[in-house]
């Protein structure tokens, strides 16, 4: 018996991959969330501001529309500790831009291209993520 969450994960994953395929084959761009957002935030990608804004609009609006249409709700189960949220946000924003990619760009798009950089980046952030949960959850007990 396969757990239901695995099946949802697989189906959701296939849709995420389809999203990346549309972005690549349609626009010739790598679908990386940190790159799309970061290029607007720091002004380095303003030449394609329309593409970026429309991508973000779909990313924010589609889950909301789907939940509203089906009368469902979703939970992020995020911590309510503001210090943890701010620290995590700063680390995620800073690190993903320094590395030129996050889970979508390096992970989904990089691994599927057999990019050495994408595979290496994924190894590094999976390792650091595991250490982070070990440290902050099991050792320090802050999350």
Q: Could you say which residues in the range 1-30 bind another protein, by CB under 8 A?
A: 3, 5-30
Name which position in 47, 59, 69, 141 contacts another protein (CB under 8 A).
Answer: 59
What is the Cα–Cα distance from 86 to 56, expressed in whole angstroms?
A: 21
Q: How far is the CB of 49 from another protein (least distance, A)?
A: 11
Does residue number 85 form part of the binding site for another protein (CB under 8 A)? yes
Name which position in 47, 71, 82, 141 contacts another protein (CB under 8 A).
Answer: 82
Nearer Cβ to another protein (8/46)? 8
Does residue number 46 form part of the binding site for another protein (CB under 8 A)? no
Alpha-carbon Rg for the chain in angstroms: 17
What is the Cα–Cα distance from 107 to 121, expressed in whole angstroms?
A: 8
Does residue number 143 form part of the binding site for another protein (CB under 8 A)? yes
Binding mask 92-131 toward another protein (x if CB under 8 A, else -) reads: xxxxxxxxx-xxx-xxxx-xxx-xxx--xxx-xxxxxxxx
Helices (H), the chain: 4-22, 33-41, 49-70, 82-98, 111-112, 116-133
Q: How far is the CB of 51 from another protein (least distance, A)?
A: 4
The CA-based angle 133-125-74, given to 5 degrees, is 60
Q: Count residues contacting another protein (CB under 8 A)?
A: 108
Cβ atoms of 79 and 142 within 8 Å: the answer is: no
């Amino acid at each position: 018996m396969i757990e239901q969450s695995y099946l949802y994960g697989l189906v959701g994953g296939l849709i995420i991959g389809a999203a990346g395929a549309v972005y690549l084959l349609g626009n010739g761009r790598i679908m990386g969330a940190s790159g799309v957002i970061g290029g607007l935030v720091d002004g380095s990608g303003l030449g394609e501001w329309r593409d970026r804004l429309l991508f973000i609009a779909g990313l924010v609006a589609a889950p909301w529309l789907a939940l509203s249409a089906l009368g469902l709700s979703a939970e992020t189960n995020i911590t309510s500790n503001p210090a943890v949220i701010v620290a995590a946000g700063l680390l995620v924003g800073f690190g993903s831009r320094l590395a030129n990619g996050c889970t979508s760009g390096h992970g989904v798009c990089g691994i599927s291209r057999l990019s050495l950089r994408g595979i290496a980046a994924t190894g590094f952030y999976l390792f650091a993520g595991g250490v982070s949960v070990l440290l902050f959850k099991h050792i320090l007990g802050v999350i």
